């Protein structure tokens, strides 16, 4: 039964799973930030569309990924607002968007203090 479940979750081959990211992704799933935890447990996991947490996609790990909509949701903490962090995010976004993946970003602060607005923006993006 497990094999059948996972075969339905396949995403396009251009987003191949990288085994070398498995350990990092697992660690990130076990230790989410408070904002990631809130977004997952209070909203994303109950949506009618399936999301994966800390999903390896190509050479990157997405915070949240909806394969059926080719949508990544990123929740950015302080490290994303440094010059190297912003440069990395730009390269990553360019590479993934070139493959047809959409990315929406929120700050930790937005998730924690404007939760309903964040959820509404996600609903609007998903058209649900």
The domain locations on the chain are 2-126
Q: Is 28 helix (H, G, I), strand (E, B) or coil?
A: helix
Q: Name the residue with higher pLDDT: 9 or 61.
A: 61
**Angle, vertex CA 2, rays to CA 39 and CA 69, nearest 5:** 40
pLDDT at 64 over 80: yes
Contact assessment for residue 55 and residue 25, using Cβ atoms and an 8 Å cutoff: yes
Looking at residue 85, its pLDDT comes to 74
Looking at residue 103, its pLDDT comes to 96
Enter the pTM of the model.
Answer: 0.77
Residue 10: how many CA atoms within 13 Å on its side-chain side?
A: 7
pLDDT interval class at 11 (50, 70, 90):
low
pLDDT at 22 over 90: no
**Integer Cα distance of 93 and 62 in angstroms:** 10
pLDDT interval class at 17 (50, 70, 90):
low
pLDDT interval class at 3 (50, 70, 90):
very low
Domain 2-126 has CATH 3.40.960.10: yes
């Amino acid at each position: 039964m497990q094999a059948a479940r996972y075969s339905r979750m396949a995403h396009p081959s251009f987003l191949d799973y990288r085994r070398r990211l498995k350990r990092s992704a697992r660690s990130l799933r076990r230790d989410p930030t408070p904002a990631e935890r809130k977004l997952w447990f209070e909203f994303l996991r109950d949506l009618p569309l399936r999301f994966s947490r800390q999903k390896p996609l190509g050479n990157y790990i997405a915070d949240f990924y909806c394969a059926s909509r080719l949508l990544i949701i990123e929740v950015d903490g302080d490290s994303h607002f440094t010059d190297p962090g912003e440069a990395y995010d730009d390269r990553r976004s360019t590479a993934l968007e070139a493959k047809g993946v959409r990315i929406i970003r929120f700050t930790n602060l937005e998730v924690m203090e404007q939760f309903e607005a964040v959820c509404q923006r996600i609903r609007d993006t998903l058209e649900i």
